[in-house]
Structure 1
């Protein structure tokens, strides 16, 4: 039994060695008819690496012949089969330029796009290849509008566009997780403008509103009014998306707090105007001093009337008292 196995092993080795020797002989030889025939056999058997070497020789020798055309096309097909999509894409693209009237030109242009699709990475990575794939597919659709491959192109483009959409939404989520409120607001706003029918629309709108709320509530007084109003506008615009139980209570509470904050901001502005008028009375000429002191008293009266329960009323009264005293002495 061992002798039989040993004999079969020797026979197999000799067969492989003989085949390799034959292949190397053909590669190094000058018989291009034999090269072409052997390349086709290798290609049909799935020995694409060996077929590539021979097809490249044939194309270099006969670039403007039918054999050269077949060889060049099959170089692209071989690289595609070997999953080297960059090289395959290059050869398919070059094929459409070198053999524009070939019966394979349409398929070559389609395969150029498919290679770009194959090179398109997952959404979390840079999407330059995805943009390229979309451009290649669009070019095919424009050049061959009646092709049987149009439906396939459209489905693939939809899938790629969704990948770009997902990529952009992941950026929105990233800013939100980082608690970079300003960036999250800008990114979500841009996303909603670009993808108004996105399946992520509810989440994106919520992220924009919640971050607008946080940004507004933590702003300095000089920026607070504008940011509170912007946040409330966001709520009004997307409130129809917040009817789901997971959003409704929180967004309603945020909006109520913003409404209260807007009143508080108006109160703080009104108080600050009293102080501003009084400070101007202390830094201006004697002629204008009386005017600003009187303005301080007027502003106090308006404040006290509008906000009788304000926590700032005692401070306002103190300013009023000083202004009143200085006005008497002026």
Structure 2
């Protein structure tokens, strides 16, 4: 009976060791894959909108194959996918990383345009953050100076115009606020700040804000 018990214990231990070895082998096989394997996983994950999975697979591709020619394309795919899902911070991260490491002049122009577009889309609330608005305008103006002959220039200028209109509206609202609290000098200061040369502030239509949000702004 004792012999049978010992044999049974040995058998259980053997099964456990075999199972653990199998799991370790499986883990090793998952972690050590070709660059094309991880690239394919990224594409498939993006196709089904599983961007968290795609980010994980990109991390594996980046850590196991840091010099792979598939890496820059994976960055651009993920940047585009995150932008489409309104995850602009993650999109901007991939674009910044791409500009640091890769790209011909033409590719860098496209990526820089995507960064400008993300910055424009990220400025959603025209009455909230003046500093962020100014920084976004500076980003767009920098693009126009760096790429004066860019094919994207008409779109970039349209973005710039809309943001500058928003800035004019913000100045007038701040001035009106100072009028209400009887501080005419401060109101005059904001009305006399540098304005857009192509637009008369009297013709700037204020941005339409949802009434409930307007209560808090």
Length-normalised TM-score, structure 1: 0.48
CA displacement 1:50-80 (0-9 Å, x = unmatched): 2221122212322332111112222322322
Partner SS for 2:135: helix
Matched residues, number = 178
- Equivalence map 1:129-144=2 (5 Å): 129-144=132-147
The equivalent residue for 1:183 is: 186
Q: Does the 8 Å contact 1:77/1:88 carry over to 2?
A: yes
The equivalent residue for 1:30 is: 32
With over 3 angstroms needed to count, the CA separation of the structure-2 counterparts of 1:110 and 1:196, relative to structure 1, is closer
Q: Does the 8 Å contact 2:164/2:196 carry over to 1?
A: no
Q: Does the 8 Å contact 2:75/2:94 carry over to 1?
A: yes
The equivalent residue for 2:104 is: 101
- Corresponding position: 1:114 with 2:146: no
Partner SS for 1:148: coil
The equivalent residue for 2:201 is: 200
- Corresponding position: 1:171 with 2:171: no
CA displacement 1:144-179 (0-9 Å, x = unmatched): 333221100011111111111111111111111222
- Corresponding position: 1:70 with 2:73: yes
The equivalent residue for 2:11 is: none
With over 3 angstroms needed to count, the CA separation of the structure-2 counterparts of 1:201 and 1:29, relative to structure 1, is same
Report how far residue 87 of structure 1 moved. Answer: 2.3
Instruction: Quote the Cα distance in structure 2 between the aligned partners of 1:125 and 1:52.
Output: 31
The equivalent residue for 2:60 is: 57
Q: Does the 8 Å contact 1:59/1:71 carry over to 2?
A: no
Gaps of 5+ in 2: 1-26, 205-217
- Corresponding position: 1:90 with 2:89: no
Report how far residue 121 of structure 1 moved. Answer: 3.9
RCO comparison, higher one (Cα < 8 Å, 6+): 2
Give the alignment's Cα RMSD to 1 decimal. Answer: 2.8
Q: Does the 8 Å contact 1:123/1:163 carry over to 2?
A: yes
Length-normalised TM-score, structure 2: 0.70
Q: Of the candidates 145, 148, 166, which is equivalent to residue 148 of structure 2?
A: 145
Partner SS for 1:40: helix
Instruction: Quote the Cα distance in structure 1 between the aligned partners of 2:139 and 2:126.
Output: 19
- Equivalence map 1:227-238=2 (5 Å): none
Higher normalized helix content (fraction of residues):
1
CA displacement 1:164-221 (0-9 Å, x = unmatched): 1111111111111222233223333x24x53466443389xxxxxxxxxxxxxxxxxx
The equivalent residue for 2:13 is: none
Larger radius of gyration: 1
Report how far residue 36 of structure 1 moved. Answer: 1.6
With over 3 angstroms needed to count, the CA separation of the structure-2 counterparts of 1:202 and 1:140, relative to structure 1, is closer
Report how far residue 126 of structure 1 moved. Answer: 1.4
Q: Of the candidates 151, 157, 162, which is equivalent to residue 154 of structure 1?
A: 157
Instruction: Quote the Cα distance in structure 2 between the aligned partners of 1:174 and 1:50.
Output: 48
- Dislocated runs of 4+, deviation >3 Å: 25-29, 195-203
Partner SS for 2:74: helix
Q: Does the 8 Å contact 1:72/1:95 carry over to 2?
A: yes
With over 3 angstroms needed to count, the CA separation of the structure-2 counterparts of 1:59 and 1:75, relative to structure 1, is farther
